[in-house]
Structure 1
Amino acid sequence: MSFAIDKHFCGDVLVDSAVFVEAKKCVQEAYEIELAFITKKECCKDELEVIKGQDQLKRSSFEDYKLDQQLYLTSFVTVYNQLFVSLAKQVIPHKNYSPPNLVTDIHVLDRVFII
């Protein structure tokens, strides 16, 4: 990946820097253009720095790895994927069940007690 950095200096002071776009000019740019006609010397200057990236990339396939590397990679991916498998949602059949209203206490009515 290559990219460019554009810098605008007013005198020795960095006013703006931008990546991929043009840097903003300072407020005195219009005044400096008129002054440059008179003195033939400019105060503001622009610098463009281009950073070159790598042009050729090495591409490899799964078959290019050794057998033990293939085994390790396959087992790692399999175990890693198993970490994110969620458990089945448990169904509670009596979750919304409400017991019937008690009219009388049947144990007392029949006189059946656990001793």
Structure 2
Amino acid sequence: MKKAFQHIISLCMAFMVMLSTMSFTVDKHFCGSHLVDQAVFSKAKTCGMQMSTDMEGHCCTNQKVSVEGQDELKVSFDSFDFQQQLFITTFSFTYFNLFESLPKQIIPFKDYSPPLLVTDIQLADQVFLI
């Protein structure tokens, strides 16, 4: 139970870190004061009326809201010097090679049952524990 709870908490924390570093844009299209379309990650659909820039009294407007994520957690491998890059690659290579699986051992007699005892061997050989 405790192990499952730790896995759930760690999964939730990973999602929270991912969502906090993610940036996205919300695009809205208004025709007058009426919201026609709203889109996340893409451009909002228009109402079909042409928005001309030379006409000052046009009724359609576009509104774009950008939400920027954190940059403090983003670490680039290029920002390290050569010695640090060499250490990280060597450490990760040796760490992942520690966990190579062992070859599967084949036991040829595992499906056979032992022979039936016809006589008591200790009594036949007269070997007794004192």
TM interval, short-chain normalised: 0.3 to 0.5
Larger Rg: 1
Q: TM-score, normalised by structure 1?
A: 0.44
Q: TM-score, normalised by structure 2?
A: 0.40
Higher relative contact order, structure no. (Cα contacts within 8 Å, ≥ 6 residues apart): 1
